[in-house]
Amino acid sequence: MEISTSDNIVTIDGNIKSVNDFQSIKESIDSTINKHKYITINIIDSLSITSSVIGYLNKLVLNDGIDISMNIGNIQLIELLDDLNLSSTFKAKKAQA
């Protein structure tokens, strides 16, 4: 998994699956929200997302007032977020090809 940031955009490329992935995502997002209260997260091709990442993002939205929107490249991940009733919380939508 690789993460890049540009202004208020965090892009995640590869599968999100380990504790190290969570730590990398958290560090990147933490540094981004120090400057921005609205962020866009692009998840290019991950099939899933770990519960620790979901919990962290949920905390940011519900407790810290961070406005998150997600562009997701994999339909399975969109369906997972739909099943968990998180699509509206994270403003998740299919990424434009």
**Domains in the chain: ranges and CATH:** 2-94 (3.30.750.24)
DSSP H helical ranges for the chain: 19-33, 51-62, 75-83
Among candidates 36, 41, 44, which has minimal Cα distance to 65? Answer: 36
Using a cut of 0.85, tell me whether the model's pTM lies above it: yes
Q: Region 22-26: what's the mean pLDDT?
A: 97
Buried b (16+ CB within 10 A) or exposed e, 33-53: beeeeebbbbbeebeebbebb
Determine what percent of the chain is predicted with pLDDT higher than 70: 99
The side-by-side arrangement of strands in the sheet containing 67-72 is: 2-6, 9-13, 38-43, 67-72, 92-94
pLDDT (mean) for 20-49: 96
